[in-house]
Amino acid sequence: MKYNTQEKRLALPEYGRNIQNMVDYCVTIKDREERKRCANAIINVMGNMFPHLRDVNDFKHILWDHLAIMSDFKLDIDYPYEIVKKEELFTRPERIPYNNSRIRYRHYGKTLELMIRKATEYPEGPEKDQLVRLLATQMKKSFLTWNKESVDDRKIFKDLDELSGGKIILDEEVHKLTESREILARNNNKKNNFSRKNR
């Protein structure tokens, strides 16, 4: 008896040794038409092994790619799709550049900083006032997420002034934000509801 460890390594182990043997046999068939019929039969068997993937886009195309890979690209037939090339299997994707931009206040995050910058470009009016109020409220929520104590609105307004480059200045007498205890109570309620649901 031959052990799997003594057999040749499987290109795609998820299909198993029997499918690999069928592919190896298919490559040896001399008649081109017969070889194509055999390849179609193998594709049908491969498809039946993973019926839950039939709804995936290009499912058949993926199977034909897998057949080519399992045959080590030696199966000489007219493929119904353009198959993956051998060289493409071993090429590494381009490195994604990492964004090293500095975040001034990590508890607010980069997105909030960008939104504040965008808000400075808005024309004066009720729309800008509403946006600035929403941003200040979000800053307070973010601050309280990381610092579990109350925060003075003056701190939020000072940070907003700094992050906007002095273009958004709020007066604490005129602008009142949601109370810290209210935000913390809402956060606690959300956590409690979440933990109850996941019990």
Give the integer Cα–Cα distance in Å for 5 and 27. Answer: 23
Low-confidence ranges of the chain (pLDDT < 50): none
What pLDDT, on a 0 to 100 scale, did the predictor assign at position 86?
Answer: 84
What pLDDT, on a 0 to 100 scale, did the predictor assign at position 54?
Answer: 79
Residue 92 main-chain phi, psi, to 5 deg? -85, 145
Whether the CB-CB separation of 153 and 176 falls below 8 Å is answered with yes
What pLDDT, on a 0 to 100 scale, did the predictor assign at position 199?
Answer: 59
Cβ partners under 8 Å of residue 104, min gap 6: 113, 162, 163
What pLDDT, on a 0 to 100 scale, did the predictor assign at position 70?
Answer: 93
77 CB burial (10 A radius; 0-12, 13-18, 19+):
buried
Q: What b/e string do you get for 50-74 counting C-beta neighbours within 10 Å, with b at 16 or more?
A: eeeeeeeeeeebbbbbbbbbbbeee
What pLDDT, on a 0 to 100 scale, did the predictor assign at position 87?
Answer: 83
Whether the CB-CB separation of 129 and 171 falls below 8 Å is answered with no
